[in-house]
Amino acid sequence: MAHLTPLLAFRWSPRSFDPTAELAPAEASALLEAARWAPSAGNAQPWRFALGRRDDETWKRILVNLPGRDQRWAARASALVLGAHLTAGPGSTGHAPYDLGQAVAHLTVQATALGLHVRQLHDLHAAGLTADLDLPVGVRPHVVVAVGQVGDPLSLPADLLASETGLRRRRPLAELLLA
Ligand SMILES: Cc1cc2nc3c(=O)[nH]c(=O)nc-3n(C[C@H](O)[C@H](O)[C@H](O)COP(=O)(O)O)c2cc1C
C-alpha cells in the first residue's frame, strides 16, 4: 500500500470526543481559513458556515436539529460547524454541494494538523436549522461537522462503542478503477 501523508493517514471520524476539551478561537479561525481557501468551480466559493462552540447559542441550535441517536455523540464535540451552500444567485453554479464538500475536506485536513478530529453528519433537520439560525433565502444546510479532541471510547453507549472500535474498511483500489 502506498504511504499516505500523515495528515491523511491519521485522519478518522470518531464519536468519542472529549466532552471537556474546548476549541480555541485561533483553532476555529484556522479551520474556517482552510475551508475559505479551498478551490471551487469558477471560484464561486458557494460555501457558508455557522460555527458554534460547546454550549453557546449556535452550538445548541445546531445540536437540537440533529437526530437523537447522533446527539449522543455530537454533544461531546468542542464545536459544531454547519456547512451550507448557495442555491441561487451569482455563487450558485450547480457545483455548490461538490465545492462545499471540498471546503470541508480542507477543514478536516487542517483539523488533523491541529491534533483535532472531525466527524461529519448528513442527517440533519434542514428546515429547523434554517429557522433556528435565521439563514438567508438561497442558503441550504447540507452537513454538520463535529470537531474536537478524541476522548475515552469506553464512555460511549455500548452500541456506539462497538462502531467506534470496529475495523475501518475501504474497497480495494482495483474496484474503484473504471479502466
Ligand atoms: C457527507 C458525510 C456524511 C456523514 N454522515 C454521518 C452521519 O449522519 N452519522 C454518522 O455517524 N457518521 C456520518 N459520517 C461519517 C462516515 O460514516 C465516516 O466518515 C465513514 O464511515 C468513514 O469512516 P472514517 O471517516 O473514520 O474513515 C458522514 C461522513 C460524510 C463525509
Q: What is the mean pLDDT of residues 106-119?
A: 98
Find where cell 480555541 sits: 24
Decide if 168 is inside a domain.
no
- Give the Cβ contact number of residue 170 at 10 Å: 7
Residues paired with residue 141 on neighbouring β-strands, in sequence order: 84
Range from 10-14, 20-24, 34-38, 162-166 carrying the lowest mean pLDDT? 162-166
Confidence (pLDDT) at 94: 87
CA of 82 from ligand 1 middle (Å) equals 15
* DSSP string computed for 48-116: EEEEEETTSHHHHHHHTTS-HHHHHHHTTSSEEEEEEEE-SSTT--S-HHHHHHHHHHHHHHHHHHTT-
Q: Is 70 in the pocket of ligand 1 (CB under 6 A)?
A: yes
Q: With respect to residue 162, please indicate whether it lies within any of the assigned structural domains.
A: no
Q: Give me the domain span that covers residue 126.
A: 17-150
Q: What is the CATH number of the domain that holds 138?
A: 3.40.109.10
Residue 10 inside a domain? The answer is no
Whether residue 120 has its Cβ less than 6 Å from ligand 1: yes
Structural domains counted in the chain:
1
Residue 92 belongs to a domain: yes
pLDDT of residue 89: 72
Instruction: Reply yes or no on whether the pLDDT at 1 is more than 70.
Output: no
- Regarding the beta carbon of 142 and ligand 1, being less than 6 Å apart is answered no
Counting from 1 in the atom list of ligand 1, the atom nearest the Cα of 119 is 15
CA of 117 to the centre of ligand 1 (A): 12
Which cell goes with 126? 434542514
Whether 139 maps to a domain, the answer reads yes
User: Which of the listed residues 4, 8, 13, 160 should we mutate to test ligand 1's pocket, taking the one with most ligand atoms within 8 A of CB?
Assistant: 13
Classify residue 131: in a domain, yes or no.
yes
146 domain-assigned: yes
Q: What is the pLDDT of residues 67-94, one digit of tens each?
A: 999 999 999 999 999 999 999 776 677 8
Q: Is residue 170 part of a domain?
A: no
Q: Is 125 helix (H, G, I), strand (E, B) or coil?
A: coil
121 lines ligand 1 (CB under 6 A): yes
Residue 111 CA, ligand 1 centroid: distance in Å? 16
Q: What mean pLDDT do residues 56-71 have? A: 98
pLDDT > 90 in the chain, percent: 94
Q: Which three cell numbers stand for residue 45?
A: 466559493
User: How much is the pLDDT for 91?
Assistant: 61
Looking at every residue in the chain, the average pLDDT score rounds to: 96
Q: With 90 as the cut, is the pLDDT of residue 103 above it?
A: yes
What value does the mean pLDDT take over residues 16-32? Answer: 98
pTM for the structure as a whole: 0.96
